Amino acid sequence: MTLTAPTAAIGLDTAAEVAAQLRVDSVRSSTSAGSGHPTSGMSAADLFAVLVTRHLRYDWDDPRSPANDHLILSKGHASPLLYALFKAVGVISDDELMHGYRRLGQRLQGHPTPALPWVDVATGSLGQGLPDGVGIALAGKYLDKLPYRVWVLCGDSELAEGSIWEALDKASYYRLANLVTLVDVNRLGQRGPTDLGWDVDAYARRAEAFGARALVVDGHDLAAVDDAMAAAQDPADERPTVILARTVKGRGFREVEDSNDWHGKPFPPDMAERAVRELGGERHLTVRGPRPTAAPIDGSRPTSDVAARPVTTEPTEPPTPARYDLGAAVPTRKAYGDALVVLGARNPRVVALDGEVSNSTYAFEFARAHPDRYFEMFIAEQQMVAAATGLAVRGYRPFASTFAAFLTRAYDFIRMGAVSGVDLCLVGSHAGVEIGPDGPSQMGLEDLAMMRAVHGSTVLYPSDATSTVALTDAMATLPGISYLRTTRGKYPVLYADGESFPVGGCKVLRSSDEDAVTLIGAGVTLHACLAAADALAGEGIRARVIDCYSVKPIDDATIADAAAATGRIVVAEDHHPEGGLGSAVKDSLIAGGRATPSLVHLAVRGMPGSGSSKELLAWAGIDADHIASAARQLVRG
């Protein structure tokens, strides 16, 4: 049986049949796979059935249509429910549901990923689907200016995550009435009751405290659910909506309803047979609800919203590309801001976000030049990366910046961005002990290792303004997660305007046939390497100096040539010894099967405190004097 409705004309009696089918197929698919979370989907089946038949405006034959609503399963472990929905709308077959779920090489993975074209973002790390949805809703209201809605199904367990409340806070600030959060309040988490259980009124007070409109319903009363979803689309209310649905885990199968014992467990075949029978047997309905329209949003332009325009100064003419005089002292963070302004003028898909430090990261320059494409996320780094992820889903190129140290808070969101396959440009400023007196809480000393470990990532660390501009431009077309590390202090411009900096390359700044040692640095330590080379030259020791601006991918060939030519390498980095530049150099040499040269790795090995940049670089043993000393010891034995 196939039903298609151009409007919400499918009755609730049919929605009830769809809900039963979703429950049955959640049971069947997880039992067939031998793993999965059927009871977590059974509680939310009525929500999904009403949504897909009567409210979700989606062209299932064209999942990339810009007019489509967006559906995010934040409680990604309930994937049997989502895949059962995909069967119900006719985009996957019963055979794929039964034989492709949780199998090697198949697209119906244990938690949803964009391997399926109807999935925007990977979920399963709880507390991330709603923050990602904020980014998609931002794009819809302020950039796409299309009337699509973002529907996010959350579990009540994940409401213990602070990222959920960051998301609602920012959704309220930006007045994202196009964002609807459905919360499946089934009372039970993985190991037992949630912290609030069925106290939906407490959840409602919290949601309202963050500026959302809260609607409390019986999640198994289809008419009540339908009314709440209709109310969530009231154009007169600019608040995001949270529908708190009181449900029963395992709903429809009395043996497991509201039981602590069946989270994440498929039913054995005999038990699954009983469940299917109690639920009324297998069904194979194909039902499609309302289709989207591409009509523009009525009323004033969304960009007139003050929240979307935190800075309103508009340039009177296109900005001049950033250029710097050789030897001029320029912070690379400043060059990043300059480059981003020009990049934004050339590419209207470039957007910027920051975590309330834009006057330090220099993202404020973009905010002044392109206020309609700048989104302030305040001190909410998880939400900043999540919003960037949602914006990337809509085809924008987000640049998100904060202090390098604070990106560690958002690491799980960065990791999941890689799983989602989105293209994100992340920028960390104020890295290393070089920042000086602020002390260790502000010093990013783990960021290179963190970002190198992300699947498919690119890690860049420019040493001067010219290379920063070139690498910022390069990031705009890189696939996956890219990271640019910038420096707080002012350092001399080393490269002439127009110099090329290909990703995966490096620059050899000093080289001769008589080189006895290679000095490798990046960022602040490159300048220390150059000073050390000058000191060594006065002693008759020739040193090759390499600017390793591309940490991942690294220039294997140039490093191998240097190792073969000099047989001695000193790597200096303003980072902990684990996982950073030194590790990248050593990994390169080992992976190439080359003879390992004599190598000294200088890094920040102690816990720093406050002090001047000069004092701290010396304390860490990564200044020019320590680099020169390490080189002398290698050369002279």
- Give the separation between CA 59 and CA 10, rounded to whole angstroms: 16
Q: What angle do CA 604, 607, 608 make, to 5 degrees?
A: 80
Q: What angle do CA 369, 374, 377 make, to 5 degrees?
A: 140
Cα separations in angstroms, 549 against 170, 463, 466, 503: 35, 7, 12, 8
Cα separations in angstroms, 463 against 476, 485, 501, 624: 19, 9, 12, 15
Q: Cβ(39)–Cβ(324) under 8 Å?
A: no
Tell me the two tokens of residue 604. Answer: 């920040």
- Give the separation between CA 399 and CA 401, rounded to whole angstroms: 7
- Residue 259's SS3 state is coil
- Give the separation between CA 514 and CA 530, rounded to whole angstroms: 17
Q: Which residues make beta-bridge pairs with 546?
A: 508, 520
- Residue 128's SS3 state is coil
Virtual CA dihedral for 495, 498, 504, 505, nearest 10 degrees? Answer: -50
Q: Cβ(455)–Cβ(418) under 8 Å?
A: yes
381 in active site: yes
Name the H helices within 34-148: 38-42, 45-50, 79-88, 94-99, 129-138
Tell me the two tokens of residue 194. Answer: 């949630």
Q: Cβ(56)–Cβ(69) under 8 Å?
A: yes
Tell me the two tokens of residue 268. Answer: 């054995």
Catalytic residue among 381, 434, 446, 573: 381
Active-site residue numbers?
Answer: 381
